[in-house]
Chain A
C-alpha cells in the first residue's frame, strides 16, 4: 500500500462499461511459400524428426508398461506413464524457437517437452559447451556409456544418445538417470539443457515459474521462462495465484528503472480437453475457451490467444511473437495451445469417458502425418526418406533402451549397500555465504539506515546492572535481532530477496522489517498479494534458479494455504534432483496468539514431519539473530518459526546480551537455559518462559532443581545435550504450544526413551496444548501450556509433589478417555 497511489472514490464509483477487448483464436494462416522463407529444409526435417522421436519414445514406454516388451526386447516397466502420444507437435512447436537461456517447466505429462527442449538445446548449444555438459554431468558417467556405441564422431549425434539415455535411465529408476532415478517419469528434468523440474502436482509449476522469471528479472539474466501445464491445471487455485502474482501492477508502476516492467514468462496451456477424465469444456470448467482466462487477470488479457497445437509451425510462430512481447517488458503472456492425446491419461486409463469416434477424428488430422504429407507435397523430401527416418528413430530408441535397462551398465542406486543413498540428498548442508559476487543493489549505506542507527541506542540485555528489567521501548528485542540478521544479508548476498504480505511500507505485520524499505529497493523487497501458495512457490523457483529468498507467511495457520508448496515443492526438489538443485529459502512463519482458532496455532510439528525441511523456532533475541544468520548462510530450506508472543522479548539468558557483530547459532543444537539436577524440561519456542517460571517454583516450593533446555531447532536435532541431562536427572517433561496429538514432542519423547531408557525414573511426559481449537484471548490460559501445567504433570506422572493440588488433568485414565473420544 504505497502512499504514492491514491484510491479515488470518484473514480472507482463512476458508472461505465468495462471493455475486455478481443482474444485471437487460431489466427495462423501462413502459406507454405511464406513458411519456406522462415524455415530451412533442415528445420522442417528437424521438426518432423523431433515429433516422430517423441511418438516413438512414448510408444516404447507404453509398450514396456503394458505389453512388457518393445521391438523384440523384453522389459517390464511398472512406473507411471502419462504419455505424449498425440501432443507431439505442440511440444515441438513450443520448444523449437527457444534459446539456451530459456527455461521450461512442466507437469506430469511432459516427456514430449523434455525431448523437444533437449533436441533444441542439442541443435543450439555450441559443440564445446555440449561436450563440456556431457563430460561434467555425473563425472561423465552417462557419456561413457553412450560414447562406446556412437562412433559417428558427431558431437550433436552423440548428445542425442546422451539425452535419450539420461531420460530413459531416469524413467527406469537407474542411477545414470538425470536425477539418479529419484525423479522418475513425472519429474524428469535436465537443467544444462534448460529443462527445469516437471511437477507431478497438477499446476505445481505455476508459482515456481513465477519465481524463475523473477530470478531472471531481478538478477538481469537473459532468456524467458515457459510454464507448461494442462487445461486441468486451470482449475487449481495455486495456478490462479501464480497468474496474478506474475502480473502485479507493481512491476510496472513501482519497481525502479532497470527493473520496471513485466516478467519474462509464458504461461502455456497444453489444452488437450481433459483433466484426467474430466472434460474441461462442457463438464468441469466454465471458460469454454481456455484463452479467456487471460482476460480475468489484467487489462492486457495477458496477450492471450488460442493456437492450433496440431500445426507445429503455428505454435512456433506464436512463441516467436510472444517472445517479442516479453522482450518489450510486457509479460507475462498466456497461450491456449490446443492439442489432443490419443492414449489414456495413464496406462491404466481405458478412456471410458470418451468415444472412439472422437479419438479417430483427431487421428484423422494427426499432426505428424499431416506435416509429413505437407513436406512431401511441397517436395521438401520424398516419402521414402520419412520411412527411413522412422526406422532410424526406432532403431536408435531400441539401442539406447537396451543400455538403459541393462542392470550391469545401468544399475539402480543401492540403499542396501549405502543406506543413506537416498537420505543423503534430503538436505545439502552446504555453506553458501552469497549466491553471486556482484555488489548488492541497495538504496543507502547500511550504517545510514535509520533503524540501524536507532538500534545502537538499544540495551542488548533484558536486565540492567541492578538486575532490573529494561523497558520494552529500550530493550533490543527479537524483532530487532531478526532485522539485524536480515538487513545484514541484504548487504552481503546480492541475490537475496524478501517478500510477503505487508512487508514493505507496513514494515511487516509485527515490525521486523521496519526501516528496511528505505535501504532495500522494490525489486529486492516487495509486498506480495495475499497468495500464500504463490509466495512460497515463487521462492522455490527463485532459489532453484540460483537465488536466495525470504518469503513470509503472516500466520502459521496460513501454512495450509501453502501446503503443497511447503510440503511437496520446498521440501523435495533438492532430493528429487539428487542434489543438482539447491534450495536456500528461509520461510519466515509467524506463530500467532490471541486471535482465535485460525490465527493462533503452532504447526511446527506438521513441518517437522516432512523430510527435506529444516525447522527452527528461537525464543530469545540471541538465538533469533544467530539462527537467522545461520539459516541465511546455508543451502537448505529452513522454516523459521517466530512467536508473536515474543517479538518484544529482550535477551534474558546469554551473558553479555546480543552481540552487535555477526555470529551464527548452528541449526540443530539445543541450548541449556537453566541448569538443574532433578528434572529436565525440554522446551519448544515460547514455552521456554513458562518453563523457567515452573523451574523457579519447583525450586522454591518443592526443592526440585529443574534444568531447562530450549530445543531451538526441531530439524536437525542433536540429542546429546538432552540425553546428558536426562542421565543426570532421570526425569523429563517436554513442552510446546502445539496440540498434543501428533506433536513433535512425541517424537522427541520416544527417541529420548530409546536413548536413555535405563536412566529414566518415569516415562517422559508431554505438555502441549489440548487437542482443540485455540480459543479467545481470555481463555488462552486454558490452551497454551502454563507454568503450573508443568507442576501438574510432574506431580501426576513423574514425582508426586507433597500437598500439591493440580489444576490440569494429567492422569492416564483421562488421557485414555480423551483419546477414546478423539479429543
Chain B
C-alpha cells in the first residue's frame, strides 16, 4: 500500500505530526527505533523535570523553607529512588504517546528507518527488512549530543567517565565530583540537580557567560546564586584534553587540570541525518541539519523536516508547532512557522524564562528597542513566596511600541512566559496588553505592571 505520510522519528516532532496527520484521516507510518517520545520524554525535558522537582523538595526540606518558618530534620535524598521515580514517569508518558498513536490510527514501526529513494508516487523507506512507500515524507529524526573532538574524550565516554544527557539520567549513584562541560540549558539544569543533592560541581564554559543566548544580566544573576550555593564556574575556558578522570582546561590564567568522578558533555546537539540516508533522495544538508523554509519544506518536493533535525531551534515546543505546520501544508491548508515567539526556559531554581528578542539579539540585528525592567517584587505574590528573591522582568518594545521580547528570572516564570509569548506572536503593544485582566495575586501580574508603566 502507499501511505499518505511516512514519518521518521517518534519524538515530539514525529509523534505530533503523526497524531495530527492521523486526525486528518491520512494513512501514516511512524518509524522509531527507541521508545516513542524521543529525547524529550526519555532523556531530556521530562526526566530532568522529574529530577529537579525532587531536588527542589529536598532543598526546602534541608533548610530552604526555614525563612518561611518551616523546618525539618534528617532530610535525605535517595538518588536511586529519584531515578526510579523518573523511570516510572517516563513510562507513563511514553505509553500515553503510544495510546495517542493508536487513537490516530498511526502504524508505528519500532525499528530504525532508512530512506531508500524516490518512487513513482513518492518515497520509499526501509525498516525491519520491509519497504514502506509514502506520498510525503516527514523527517523528524531528531538530534544527538555532540561529543567534541577533544583528545581523550572519546575514550572517556567509552570508559563511562564522560557522559551525555542520556547516560547521566541513568546514573543511580550520584558522583562526588562532577564536571559539567558546557553551561547551556542542559548543563545548568544538571549542575543544579547535582549541586542540590550534594555533588561538587564545576561548570566549564567556553563563552564568557552561561545560559547560551539568554539575557546576559539574567544569566549573571543565576551564576551568582549558584556560586553562593557552591557551584564553581570557569568561564572563557576551553577543554583541551581528558586524561582518565581529569579534564585539562585552558583559559587566560593558563592550563590546568580538574579531577572529577564524572564529566557531563553538554556542549550542544547535532541533527541526526547521517543515520537515515538523506543522500538517497538528494536532501540538502548544511552542517548536518536539513534546512527548511517557513512551510517546513526541504529542498526535495514532498519532503518535510521538523524538530531538532532542521537545526533551527532544538526545542520540543518548537518541534510541535513545526510538525503542525508541515501536516497542515501537506493537507493543503495554508500555514507558516514563526520563530519570533518561541519561549525558552532554563529550569534551574530560580527559573529563567525568555521569549523573542533579547537586548543582545536586538542589538545584533540593529533593532532599536526600549527595555523596561522591573523587579518581581512589584508583584505581591512574589514577595510572599520568594523571601529575599531578586528576580526581575525585562520587556523589550520596538519603535512602534510593540512587545518584541521578554525575559524573567524568578519562579514560576516557566508557567508565566507564554503570556508574553502571546504578546510577541500577536505583535501586541502595551496598550493592547493593558486591557487584559490578570488574576490577583499572582506573580504574572508583573506583566501588567510592566505594560502599565509604559502607558
Q: Which A residues have a C-beta under 8 Å from some C-beta of B?
A: 792, 796, 800, 802-803, 805-806, 809-814, 816-817
Contacts and interface: CB of A to CB of B under 8 A. Distances in A.
Contacts of A809: 299-301
Contacts of B120: 805
A728 B311 CA distance: 41
Contacts, number: 39
B284 A814 contact: yes
Nearest to B285: A817
Given A811-B298, A813-B297, A813-B299, A805 B121 contact: yes
Most buried by A among B120, B121, B302: B302
Nearest to A814: B299
Nearest to B298: A813
B415 interface: no
Nearest to B122: A805
Given A800-B332, A805-B122, A813 B301 contact: no
A810 B302 CA distance: 11
Interface in B92-120: 120
Contacts of A810: 301
A822 to B, nearest CB: 15
A796 B301 contact: yes
Contacts of B302: 805-806
B301 A811 contact: yes
Interface of B: 120-122, 135, 284, 291-293, 297-302, 332
Contacts of B293: 811-813
Nearest to A796: B301
Given A805-B120, A805-B302, A816 B297 contact: no
A792 B302 CA distance: 12
A817 B298 CA distance: 10
A760 to B, nearest CB: 14
Given A800-B332, A805-B122, A817-B284, A812 B301 contact: no
B297 A812 contact: yes
A718 B299 CA distance: 36
B301 to A, nearest CB: 5
Nearest to B297: A811
A407 to B, nearest CB: 42
B392 to A, nearest CB: 40
Given A796-B301, A805-B120, A805-B302, A813 B284 contact: yes
A814 B300 contact: yes
B301 A802 contact: no
A811 to B, nearest CB: 5
16 contacts: A805-B120, A805-B302, A809-B299, A809-B300, A810-B301, A811-B293, A811-B297, A811-B299, A811-B300, A813-B284, A813-B297, A813-B299, A814-B284, A814-B299, A814-B300, A817-B299
Contacts of B135: 803, 805
B259 to A, nearest CB: 46
A773 to B, nearest CB: 21
B102 to A, nearest CB: 28
Contacts of A806: 301-302
B328 to A, nearest CB: 11
Contacts of B299: 809, 811, 813-814, 816-817
Nearest to B290: A813
Contacts of A813: 284, 291-293, 297-299
A603 to B, nearest CB: 29
A798 B421 CA distance: 31
A20 to B, nearest CB: 63
A752 B291 CA distance: 29
Contacts of A800: 332
Contacts of B297: 811-813
Given A813-B293, A817-B284, A802 B122 contact: no
* Chain A CB within 10 A, most for which of B122, B291, B301, B302: B301
Nearest to B121: A805
A814 B284 CA distance: 8
Contacts of A796: 301
A797 to B, nearest CB: 10
Contacts of B284: 813-814, 817
A802 B330 CA distance: 10
Q: Which 5 A-B pairs have the closest CB atoms?
A: A813-B299, A814-B299, A812-B293, A817-B284, A806-B301
A814 B297 CA distance: 10
Nearest to A803: B135
B380 to A, nearest CB: 50
B291 A816 contact: yes
A577 B118 CA distance: 61
A796 B301 CA distance: 7
A813 B291 CA distance: 7
Nearest to B120: A805
B121 to A, nearest CB: 6
Contacts of A811: 293, 297-301
Contacts of A805: 120-122, 135, 302
Of the listed residues A802, A811, A814, A817, the one surrounded by the most CB atoms of chain B closer than 10 A to its CB is: A811
Nearest to A761: B334
Nearest to A810: B301
Contacts of B291: 813, 816-817
Contacts of A817: 284, 291, 299
A379 to B, nearest CB: 82
A805 B281 CA distance: 14
A802 B122 CA distance: 13
A810 B284 CA distance: 14
A803 B121 CA distance: 9
B379 to A, nearest CB: 44
Contacts of A802: 332
A802 B136 CA distance: 12
Nearest to B303: A811
Contacts of B332: 800, 802
B214 to A, nearest CB: 29
Contacts of A814: 284, 299-300
B160 to A, nearest CB: 41
Given A813-B293, A813-B299, 9 more contacts: A792-B301, A796-B301, A806-B301, A806-B302, A810-B301, A811-B298, A813-B284, A813-B291, A814-B299
Nearest to A806: B301
A813 B293 CA distance: 6
A247 B102 CA distance: 89
Nearest to A809: B301
Nearest to B283: A813
A803 B297 CA distance: 17
Contacts of A803: 135
A805 B291 CA distance: 21
Nearest to A802: B332
B217 to A, nearest CB: 36
A800 B135 CA distance: 14
- Residue from A796, A800, A802, A813 with most neighbouring chain B CB atoms (10 Å): A813
Nearest to B119: A805
A796 B297 CA distance: 10
Nearest to B302: A805
Nearest to B294: A812
